Structure 1
Amino acid sequence: MDKENFDEEFKKLWNETPASHSESEKEASWEKFHSKTFAEKKKKTKPWRYYAAAAVLLFVLIGTGLYFNTKPQLENVVLAENVIENTTQKIKYVVLPDNSKVELSPNSKITYSNNFALNRKIEIIGEAYFKVTKDKKHPFQVFCNETTTTVLGTSFIVKESDKKEVTVELYEGSVQMNVKGKDQKWILKPGEKFTYGNELASVAEFSRFIDFDNEKLSVLSTYIEVNYGYKVILPKENLDQKITIRINKKEDLKTIVQLISEMYNLNFEINEDLKQITFQ
Structure 2
Amino acid sequence: MNDKKIEDELKKIWDETPVSHSDSEKKASWEAFQSKAFPVEKKKFKIWRYAAAAAILIFLSVGLGTYFNNDPLQDEIFASSNVIENTTIKIKTVFLPDSSKVDLSPHAKIRYANNFESNRKIEVEGEAYFKVKKDKKHPFQVFCNQTITKVLGTSFTVTQQDENGVIVELFEGSVEMSVANQDKKWILKPGEKFTYGNKVAEVAEFSRFMDFEDEKLSIVGTYIESNYGYKVILPEEYSNEKITVRINKKEDLKTIIQLISEMYNLNYEINEKLKKITFH
TM-score by length of 2: 0.69
Bigger relative contact order, structure 1 or 2, given CA contacts below 8 A and separation 6+?
A: 1
Measure the CA separation in 1 of the matches of 2:216 and 2:157. Answer: 30
Shift, 1:228, TM fit: 1.2
CA deviation string 1:17-57 (max 9, x = no partner): xxxxxxxxxxxxxxxxxxxxxxxxxxxxxxxxxxxxxxxxx
Measure the CA separation in 2 of the matches of 1:160 and 1:273. Answer: 31
Partner of 2:123: 123
Measure the CA separation in 1 of the matches of 2:202 and 2:95. Answer: 31
Partner of 1:276: 276
Partner of 1:226: 226
Percent of residue pairs bearing the same amino acid type? 73
Partner of 1:56: none
Determine helix, strand or coil for the equivalent of 2:204.
Answer: strand
Measure the CA separation in 2 of the matches of 1:140 and 1:219. Answer: 37
Shift, 1:238, TM fit: 1.4
Partner of 1:76: none
Partner of 2:175: 175
Measure the CA separation in 1 of the matches of 2:88 and 2:240. Answer: 36
Out of 142-151 and 219-228, give the one that drifted further: 219-228
Change (3 A) 1:90 1:221: closer
Structure 1 unaligned blocks of 5 or more = 1-80
Pair 1:235 & 2:235 matched: yes
Partner of 1:244: 244
Partner of 2:102: 102
Structure 2 unaligned blocks of 5 or more = 1-80
Determine helix, strand or coil for the equivalent of 1:237.
Answer: helix
CA deviation string 1:201-235 (max 9, x = no partner): 00001111000011111111111111111111111
Shift, 1:107, TM fit: 2.3
Shift, 1:163, TM fit: 4.3
1:275 aligned partner, one-letter code: K
2:92 aligned partner, one-letter code: K
Shift, 1:118, TM fit: 0.8
- Matched pairs, number: 200
**Structure richer in helix, relative to its length:** 2
Change (3 A) 1:88 1:238: closer
Runs ≥4 residues deviating over 3 A: none
Q: Report 1:1-280 matches (<5 A).
A: 82-280=82-280
Measure the CA separation in 1 of the matches of 2:136 and 2:166. Answer: 26
Measure the CA separation in 2 of the matches of 1:253 and 1:93. Answer: 12
Measure the CA separation in 1 of the matches of 2:260 and 2:271. Answer: 17
Change (3 A) 1:215 1:85: same
CA deviation string 1:146-169 (max 9, x = no partner): 110000001111111124211101
Shift, 1:90, TM fit: 2.5
CA deviation string 1:47-101 (max 9, x = no partner): xxxxxxxxxxxxxxxxxxxxxxxxxxxxxxxxxx711122333322111000001
Out of 112-121 and 228-237, give the one that drifted further: 228-237
1:155 aligned partner, one-letter code: S
Measure the CA separation in 1 of the matches of 2:213 and 2:244. Answer: 5
Determine helix, strand or coil for the equivalent of 2:263.
Answer: helix
Measure the CA separation in 2 of the matches of 1:91 and 1:217. Answer: 23
TM-score by length of 1: 0.69
Measure the CA separation in 2 of the matches of 1:270 and 1:103. Answer: 19
Contact between 2:90 and 2:229, CA under 8 Å: does it hold in 1? no
Measure the CA separation in 1 of the matches of 2:83 and 2:142. Answer: 14
Q: CA RMSD in A?
A: 1.2
Measure the CA separation in 2 of the matches of 1:247 and 1:187. Answer: 25
Shift, 1:246, TM fit: 0.3
